Structure 1
Amino acid sequence: MNEPGTLNPSPLSSLSAEPEVSARPTETDVPVRPAVSAAPPSPPRGRFARLPHLAGRSFIPVGLFARLPLAMLTVGALTLVTSSTGSYALGGTAAGAVGIGSAIGAPVIGALADRHGQRPVLLVAAVLNALAVLALIGTAWAVPEDGSFPAALILSAFLAGGSCPQVGPLARVRWMALTARGKGKDADRDLDTALSYEGTADELTFVLGPALVGILASVVAPWLPLAVAVVMTITLVPAFAVHPTHKAVPVRLIPGANSAPAHAAGTSAKSSRAARIHAAVSLPVLAMVAMGTFFGSTQTALSSFSASFATSEIAGLLYAVLGVSSAAAALSVAYWPRSFKPAARWLVSAALMAGLAPLLLAPDSLGGMVGVLLLLGLPVGPVMVTVFAIGGIVAPAERLGTVMTALASGIVAGTALGASVAGQLAQHAGYHAAFAVPVAAAGALFVLGVAAAAVLRKHTT
């Protein structure tokens, strides 16, 4: 028990503190007096004010800035390699290698975190990633001049992406563990709030990251953004790794490695359940691929669109408009009624997104496009928050980190796919054709939402 007048410990203190036994005077030692006890402070009532109460005040800023290097890596590789070699093709290839490496490496890091715990995996990933990015910086200035393929450069770019610490997905795993300590509606509401914040944090970092790369590369030197990313990785990622919240996530052995052979009937039942789980998990992952396709194709189509009116560099500012409205809408999910279930949220938000996406074909001015992007961003944030929430619902507890990182890698893979397809269409048929890709991606999100509603109903019954 707490002494009278002392504060209640935070939820995190129970992760490491042992119960204390203190000597107290007996009734025969002192006169009996009425007990005077201070009421324990109640948790903050504001939705987002409760998050520091759950995780500790340092968790939010550390988790926010520790994911910034990932947002800087792809654009930083593109900028550095293009500047050092003078080849846009080689710069794009290096950026693509970063994306492919991240898409492959993220689920591996998530699976290792599930098996061995987040702290050791993130600490090792931080060191490996820092070395890989330093190798990328070095090989970018040592590209062969004889026109031969720069294998060392592409390999270092791939390793830089593959080893990048997955702070955002693993932060979501921690929030799920922390909010699971609550009860009933409060726990559900806290999880919605935490995931809303995480969606906004991702949006902000993927807007701020490329902007920071552009400022540092243009004002100082093209290698500086990646050097700054190395410094942030080697300092902030370990701080996130050792934060006490990692203790809230239990380390579970992946079942089946050491288990005895099951009875045939039991094996059949387990196989059927595994098939349902895979179907339930695959739909959110595919949705994130579609979401990434929407992002990548929109960025590329906006480059072609803005080049028709001014310069292609304006595309970054236009895309930031979409990010701002998306981030604001993501925050609003915390205040949506509990009766509005995740499957219904996905359907409604994706339907709105699919209905608004064709407006991208309409503007014939920069001002008109700004208005469309502000409007279109409103359903984007809620779709992302909801898909991550559904991923957490359908994921087996022992593979939660794997699923969360797979969702994040789906966005990366989809972004590369969308940028590639939209780039080809923009090159040969103009920006109107390129905008057809995000329209199709939004439609795919709605179709996947319909399928997920049916699968989720079976999964939860």
Structure 2
Amino acid sequence: MLAPYRRLFARPGTTAFTLAGLLGRLSLSMTGVSLVVLIAERRGSYALAGTVAAAGLATGAIGMPLIGRLVDRFGQSRVTVPAVLYCAVPFSGLLLCVRAGAPDWTLYVCWAAGAATPNLGGMARARWAHLFRDEPDELHLANSFEQVLDELCFMAGPVLGMVLCTTIAPEAGMLTAGGLGTVGALLFAAQRRTEPPVADRPAAGRHGSPLRMPGLRVLTLTFLSTGMIFGALDLTTVAYADALGNRPVAGGLLALVAAGSCAAGLVFGTLRPGGPAGVRFLRGVAAMAGLLLLPLAAGLGGAGLALLGAALFVAGTGTAPTMVTGMTLLQELLPQRQLNEGMAIAVSGIVVGISGGSALAGTLADHAGPGAGYWVPAGAAALALLIALVGRRHLDVPANASEGLGVSGAR
């Protein structure tokens, strides 16, 4: 199964930027749980920890597309290095404020100021899109591989962060995440030979936001609903395991979701994509919506943790193919000069959705029982399908999309 993926690394420099980007994404996946544990331990308040984290998500959702726009205009390396060095200042300030007992408002300011970090996952996908701009099958393989890396990071990152925070010191998780993120981003920026060239700008000098494209709006709303799935699944699974007196098992259950997605992504990458990406995306969203009925049935039916784990693993298999096809569709729809900004907007939609899904699932779990929270991911998946169906005509890639990356023209 892994043999086809070796072809990706036959190109010079691909291994280097992939490993560097992996460090940065591992850092990102560690940060959430490490921040919560740090503030809860040092300040004794989960409520404070949650609201500080939410402030960072809000500014990240705004700042990430702005960073993406700068990357499209000036290049990955020229933007990544100063952005990462800047973010290290408020990040360090947060740790000092927590340790010194500074007022709570300082935590919000520091975390909000440093949350808009460069989107290394999006920049890695932009590099693959440039390298394989005339090879759609190889680009499909690369996008599948990137999704698998995302899943692996979000399986290992929270566990690593929790272990560091609980066995060494509450600050250990954040310090490690900050170090990995800074080193990974700087190493990524140093890989210049695989960096996509800055695309020519229109003669008028201004090209507006890529959100003017109806296709990006449809995909962003669909990804927002997908983010709600992720946030709601996490919180509901923790609440369900806690209600059964096995809260420590929740981490393993959530790992099963990521494992299912990871396995599906590996298999999906080896399959030759057939038909337009818009049609494949619709099929993926429909499959994801159907599969998410399984944990809902298990939760409402009072199934034990073993059956719930099996349902979560199978439900997870619908995620990676949908995300892979969605990212491929973004690369086909967006002109190269707006690729990083457009992908950052889509990722911001996921971030906002995670926050909303967590809030909705938490409210439902408190007032209707823990298993009822699985209505939220099932409903969010149905909403994603409805949005994709309504916006279906905007997901067609024009046959003469000359501004794009050359992928659609190659088909």
Determine the C-alpha separation between the residues in 2 that align with 1:458 and 1:207: 34
Cα deviation for residue 257 of structure 1 reads 5.0
Identity percentage of aligned residues: 30
> Within 2, Cα distance between the matches of 1:414 and 1:196?
22
> 13, 20, 26: which is aligned to 1:62?
20
CA shift digits 1:205-248 (9 cap, x unpaired): 1221111110100110110111112221232211101103443x
Amino acid at match of 1:177: H
- 1:123 positional shift: 0.5
Distance 2:12 2:68 in 1: 21
The question of 1:203 aligning with 2:156 is answered no
* Structure 2 residue 187 is matched with structure 1 residue 252: no
SS at match of 2:162: helix
Relative to structure 2, which stretch is displaced further, 98-107 or 334-343? 334-343
Q: Secondary structure at the match of 2:142?
A: helix
Aligned to 1:136, what secondary structure does the other structure show? helix
Deviation of 1:460 after TM superposition, in Å, equals: 4.3
Match of 1:53 in 2: 10
What are the superposed Cα offsets for residues 42-75 of structure 1, whole Å, 9 maximum, x if unpaired? xxx9531111112533232222122221112222
Indicate the residue corresponding to 2:409 in structure 1. Answer: none
1:424 CA drift (Å):
1.1
Unaligned runs of 5+ in 2: 401-411
Distance 1:194 1:419, change over 3 A: same
Specify the alignment match of 1:331 in structure 2.
Answer: 266
Determine if contact 1:136/1:156 at 8 Å carries over to the other structure.
yes
Matched, 1:158 2:112: yes
Q: Deviations over 1:391-438 (max 9, x none)?
A: 111112210010111122211111111101111111121123311110
Q: Is the 8 A contact 1:280 1:452 kept in 2?
A: yes
- What is the distance in 2 between the residues matched to 1:373 and 1:434? 14
Letter in 2 for 1:170: M
Q: C-alpha distance in 2, partners of 1:453/1:85?
A: 48
Q: Deviations over 1:243-269 (max 9, x none)?
A: 03443x12135436547xxxxxxxxxx
Give the paired residue count.
Answer: 394
Asked if the contact 1:343–1:449 (Cα under 8 Å) also holds between the matched residues in 2, the reply is no
Give the 3 Å change call, closer, same or farther, for CA 275–93 of structure 1 in structure 2: closer
In the alignment, structure 1 residue 238 sits paired with structure 2 residue 173: no
Is the Cα–Cα contact under 8 Å of residues 129 and 165 in structure 1 kept in the other structure?
no
Distance 2:398 2:202 in 1: 20
Provide the C-alpha distance between the structure 2 equivalents of 1:133 and 1:225, rounded to a whole number of angstroms: 13
Alignment TM-score, normalising by the size of structure 1 = 0.81
Match for 1:48: what amino acid? Y
Matches within 5 A, 1:343-358: 343-358=278-293
Check the 8 A contact 1:277/1:395 in 2, yes or no.
no
Structure-2 change in CA distance of 1:194 and 1:275 (3 Å): closer
Q: Aligned ranges for residues 274-293 of structure 1 at < 5 Å?
A: 278-293=213-228
The structure in which a higher percent of residues are helix is 2
Structure-2 change in CA distance of 1:433 and 1:257 (3 Å): farther
Provide the rounded CA distance (Å) in 2 between the counterparts of 1:319 and 1:52: 31
Q: Which 4+ residue blocks in structure 1 deviate beyond 6 angstroms?
A: none
User: Does the alignment pair 1:396 with 2:356?
Assistant: no
Q: CA deviation at 1:138?
A: 1.2
The corresponding residue for 2:364 is 425
Q: Deviations over 1:12-67 (max 9, x none)?
A: xxxxxxxxxxxxxxxxxxxxxxxxxxxxxxxxx95311111125332322221222
Partner of 2:408: none
Aligned counterparts of 1:319 and 1:199: Cα–Cα separation in 2: 17
Higher relative contact order (Cα pairs below 8 Å, separated by 6+ residues): 2
3-state SS, counterpart of residue 317 of structure 2: helix
Hey, what's the Cα distance between the residues in 2 that align with 1:49 and 1:176? 17
Distance 1:174 1:143, change over 3 A: same
Contact 1:291 1:441 in 2 (8 A): yes
The equivalent position to 2:60 in structure 1, one of 83, 99, 102, is 102
Residue 74 in structure 1 maps to residue 13 in structure 2: no
Q: Which range moves more in the overlay, 343-352 or 416-425? A: 343-352
- Conserved 8 A contact 1:304-1:426: yes
Gaps of 5+ in 1: 1-44, 260-269
Show the counterpart of 1:193.
141
For 2:312, the equivalent position in structure 1 comes to 373
Query: Which of 380, 383, 395 is the matching residue for 1:456?
Result: 395
2:405 aligned partner: none
Structure of higher CA gyration radius: 1
What's the RMSD between the two structures over aligned residues? 2.2
Residue number in structure 2 paired with 1:167: 120
